[in-house]
């Protein structure tokens, strides 16, 4: 583990030494640096509270966007559709999961695959590889590009920013559908504070968390601890979670500061099963609580990361920042959770993954004003190295089950998992080198920006059961241009029109495919997205009323793979086009009452999609992509009471998109209504939450690419107690 840090530290040695001036002894080796900070963090976690924020950051968090261009901008200066969710929004709604917190984002779906693997679907993209998932601007992903949101706790969140459309010009690979940035720094780090939260709820759910901020001269610290457990709404889907985060910030001189952050996340969960579907409805009387997964199906993950982020102000308006991150992720996952509405086997699989990575992001911001002109330049370089080892036992002779008789009793006497026949070890490695540049010029009421990024990714894969290896090199230039015009501004009302063109890309990891008993490397071209968007934003009544609406067209070229037999896979490219409209409005009528509403229309279909057997799926609607999504919400405050209510509508979706028959299943639209009532007395509060008030039974996502899907959570209740000091 430490050798990897040392190797990466040598690669970026000159960057870190330049920024830190050798003050922290980086020249003595990355290993020593990691040990020192890990020891310090562990010891301090019981005594300190942390923050990365500056003491003079007293601004409206709703108006702040940093994820579009890496520096703070007003949302009225960003030529893109953006949504911001603050910690206050999360607490008012009583959200306890990331999916619940993201309800207010237009056009967004989240589904969870049996207690693990949350997926975010937006603008026709259904894979977490298609979003740049960030924690404080640092990529949160595995080797290969996927982000396992199972390991991302909600209690560390201070603010969530979601920037729609490709963002590869600034964030690189994976930002083909948008950027989701989890901001953890507290809104005010200049005040000492402590928050304690405890909750109990349906399905045997218990959660506790504590968060404290401790400022001192020229520095501050934040500690965030949480523990949770639940029985799950499906049978035998227990889940235990724990996490700890420590942030420490110190201003070492007038122009030099240092931030360190350590994050630990632990999840241990049993897996739930899919629901078999016929004509879009649950088959054979299978209930939402029924779990027919193979006994023992589970998910166990441990994620640790350490980030060191020095910052140097070279001159007024010229700032150099560096972010060095080491991450380690161990995961044991097993399958056997898919249930079909036909006689079938529950194919057991198992993978034990060890992964570690290092990354370094060095960038310079130059912000200069010349009378009526402002010029902001961002330029930087990025390096990432990751290795992954996956141990996968193989099984044969899985028992057979029949949907028409019993989902839990096999029709033969084979062991539940089948018979283990061997073990395969897969090793993957990946290295990314990137450079990027962006310039934004504001002249009067007009803003113009252009940026480009170059990424080169070298990846390789080998397996213990074959001498064939797969090595792949991808490189890509990702441009974006944008313009915005404040066509009306009278000091109270601000109206802005914007237009943008952006490209995004996601490299495809090499793989080994077997066809007719022959193993060959599968090297796939990168997934490329091109997006055009125009829109209007407006703010009035001192910012109390804000709205935005945009029209977009996205074209995506990327690979599709599907099984053609037990041991054979077919890979092909497919072209997707998504035409859509997204809009939202927020209005605070007065301190007692505020509302929001959002709507999204998307027409996601295949322009070209054929397989090697001559089947043509062109023109088919992308699976699980509804035409219409909408939501409304409100907060009503009356003395010590706050009442929050929200409703979210998702239109009908087709279950499959590569089915040649006319019997493609269509899932009915659904609406989920939620409410939370909070009573506050001085520094104490009690909150009663009801999610899915009308107990809507719906399929959140299919994931399994079969005639089945994972149900959304039924009606649930929670009581949340909070104390602030």
Per-residue model confidence as pLDDT tens digits over 82-115: 999 999 999 999 999 888 999 888 988 888 877 7
Average pLDDT score, the chain: 85
Angle at 422 between CA 416 and CA 426, to 5 degrees: 110
User: What are the residue ranges spanned by the domains of the chain?
Assistant: 45-724
Confidence of residue 663 (pLDDT cuts 50, 70, 90): confident
* pLDDT: which is higher, 417 or 344: 417
What is the mean predicted confidence (pLDDT) over 214-236?
A: 95
**What's the pTM value of the predicted model, to 2 decimals?**
0.88
Q: How far is CA 512 from the centre of its chain?
A: 28
pLDDT (0 to 100) of residue 561: 59
Q: How far apart are CA 641 and CA 126, in angstroms?
A: 39
What residues contact residue 616 under an 8 Å CB cut-off, 6+ apart? 609, 610
| pLDDT over 70 at 8, yes or no | no
Does pLDDT of 194 surpass 90?
yes
Average pLDDT over residues 333-356: 86
Question: Confidence band (pLDDT; 50, 70, 90) for 49?
Answer: very low
The pLDDT of residue 26: 30
Mean per-residue pLDDT, 184-199:
91
| 148-160 mean pLDDT | 92
Going by CATH, does the domain composed of 45-724 fall within 2.40.170.20? yes
- Distance from C-alpha of 313 to C-alpha of 408, rounded to nearest angstrom: 64
User: In 3-state terms, what secondary structure has residue 433?
Assistant: strand
Question: What pLDDT is attached to residue 404?
Answer: 66
**pLDDT tens, residue by residue, 277-298:** 888 888 888 889 999 888 889 9
Q: Report the pLDDT value the prediction gives residue 116, as an integer from 0 to 100.
A: 82
Let me know the angle formed at the C-alpha of 426 by 422 and 428, rounded to the nearest 5 degrees: 175
**pLDDT digit string (tens) for 381-406?**
999 999 999 999 999 888 888 766 67
pLDDT of the residue at 24: 31
- What's the chain's Rg over C-alpha atoms? 25
Residues 45-67, mean pLDDT to the nearest whole number: 47
Mean pLDDT confidence for 596-606: 94
* β-sheet with 275-278: strand ranges across: 281-282, 275-278, 708-711, 699-701
Q: What is the mean pLDDT of residues 573-595?
A: 93
In three-state secondary structure terms, 143 is coil
Q: How confident is the model at residue 63 (pLDDT cuts 50, 70, 90)?
A: confident
pLDDT at 210: 96
- Residue 660 has a pLDDT of 62
**Average pLDDT over every residue of 572-588:** 91
Of the listed ranges 321-330, 453-462, 615-624, 631-640, the one predicted with least confidence: 615-624
Better pLDDT: 477 or 145: 477
Using alpha carbons, list the distances in angstroms from residue 72 to 10, 254, 365.
31, 21, 11
Q: Above pLDDT 70, what percent of the chain?
A: 87
Region 146-165 average pLDDT: 91
The residue assigned the tokens 């589904």 is 111
Q: Label the pairing between strands 699-701 and 108-113.
A: unpaired
Q: How far apart are CA 474 and CA 458, in angstroms?
A: 7
Contact 458, 90 (CB under 8 A): no
Residue 493: is its pLDDT beyond 60? yes
Q: In the structure, what pLDDT confidence band is assigned to residue 46 with cuts at 50, 70 and 90?
A: very low
CA distance 486 to 498: 9
How many other β-carbons are positioned within 10 Å of the β-carbon of residue 243?
22
């Amino acid at each position: 583990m430490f050798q990897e840090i040392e190797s990466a530290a040598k690669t970026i040695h000159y960057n870190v030494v330049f920024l830190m001036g050798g003050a922290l002894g980086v020249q003595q080796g990355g290993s020593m640096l990691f040990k020192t900070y890990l020891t310090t963090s562990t010891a301090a976690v019981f005594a300190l509270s942390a923050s990365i924020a500056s003491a003079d950051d007293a601004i409206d968090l709703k108006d702040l966007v940093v994820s579009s261009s890496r520096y703070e901008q007003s949302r009225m200066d960003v030529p893109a559709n953006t949504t911001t969710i603050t910690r206050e929004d999360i607490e008012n709604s009583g959200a306890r999961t990331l999916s619940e917190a993201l309800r207010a984002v237009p056009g967004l779906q989240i589904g969870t695959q049996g207690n693990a693997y949350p997926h975010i679907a937006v603008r026709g993209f259904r894979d977490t590889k298609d979003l740049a998932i960030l924690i404080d601007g640092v990529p949160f992903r595995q080797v290969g590009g996927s982000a396992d949101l199972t390991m991302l706790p909600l209690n560390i969140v201070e603010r969530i920013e979601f920037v729609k459309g490709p963002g590869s010009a600034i964030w690189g690979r994976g930002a083909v559908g948008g950027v989701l940035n989890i901001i953890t720094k507290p809104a005010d780090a200049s005040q000492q504070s402590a928050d304690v939260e405890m909750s109990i709820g349906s399905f045997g759910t218990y959660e506790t968390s504590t968060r404290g901020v401790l400022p001192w001269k020229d520095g501050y610290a934040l500690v965030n601890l949480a523990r949770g457990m639940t029985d799950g709404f499906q049978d035998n889907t227990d889940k235990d979670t724990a996490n700890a985060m420590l942030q420490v910030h110190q201003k070492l001189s007038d122009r030099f500061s240092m931030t360190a952050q350590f994050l630990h996340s632990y999840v241990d969960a049993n897996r739930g099963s899919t629901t078999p579907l016929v004509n879009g409805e649950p088959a054979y009387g299978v209930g939402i609580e029924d779990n027919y997964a193979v006994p023992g199906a589970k998910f166990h993950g441990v994620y640790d990361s350490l980030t060191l982020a020095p910052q140097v102000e070279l001159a007024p308006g010229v700032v150099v920042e560096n972010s060095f991150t080491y991450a380690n992720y161990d995961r044991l996952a097993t399958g056997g959770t898919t249930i079909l509405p036909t006689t079938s086997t529950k194919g057991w699989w198992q993978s034990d993954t060890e992964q570690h990575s290092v990354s370094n992001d060095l960038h310079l911001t130059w912000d200069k004003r010349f009378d009526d002109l402002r010029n902001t330049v961002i330029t930087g370089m990025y390096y990432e190295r990751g290795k992954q080892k996956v141990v996968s036992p193989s099984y044969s002779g899985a028992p057979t089950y029949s949907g028409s008789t019993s989902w839990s009793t096999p029709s033969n006497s084979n062991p539940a998992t089948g018979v283990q026949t061997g073990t395969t070890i897969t090793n993957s490695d990946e290295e990314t080198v990137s450079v990027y540049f962006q310039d934004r010029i504001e002249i009067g009421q007009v803003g113009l920006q252009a940026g480009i990024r170059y990424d080169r990714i070298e990846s390789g894969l080998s397996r213990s059961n074959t001498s064939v290896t797969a090595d792949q090199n991808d490189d890509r230039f990702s441009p974006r241009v944008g313009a915005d015009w404040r066509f009306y501004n009278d000091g109270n009302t601000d109206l802005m029109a914007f237009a943008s063109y952006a490209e995004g890309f996601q490299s495809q990891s090499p793989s080994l495919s077997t066809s007719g008993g022959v193993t060959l490397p599968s090297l796939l071209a990168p997934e490329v997205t091109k997006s055009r968007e125009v829109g209007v934003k407006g703010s009035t009544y001192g910012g109390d009323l804000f709205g935005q609406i945009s029209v977009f067209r996205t074209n995506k070229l990327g690979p599709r793979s599907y099984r053609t037999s037990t041991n054979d896979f077919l890979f092909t490219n497919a072209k997707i086009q998504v035409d859509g409209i997204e809009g939202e409005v927020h209005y605070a009528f007065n301190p007692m009452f505020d509302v929001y509403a959002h709507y999204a229309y998307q027409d996601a279909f295949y322009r070209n999609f054929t397989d090697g057997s001559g089947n043509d799926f062109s023109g088919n609607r992308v699976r699980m992509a509804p035409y219409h999504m909408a939501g409304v919400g409100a907060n009503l405050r009356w003395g010590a009471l706050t009442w929050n209510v929200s409703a979210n509508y998702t239109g009908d979706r087709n279950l499959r998109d590569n089915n040649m028959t006319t019997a493609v299943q269509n899932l009915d639209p659904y609406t989920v209504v939620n409410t939370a009532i909070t009573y506050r007395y001085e520094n104490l509060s009690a909150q009663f939450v009801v999610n899915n008030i009308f107990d809507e039974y719906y399929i959140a996502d299919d994931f399994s690419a079969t005639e089945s899907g994972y149900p959304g959570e039924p009606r649930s209740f929670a009581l949340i107690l909070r104390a602030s000091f």
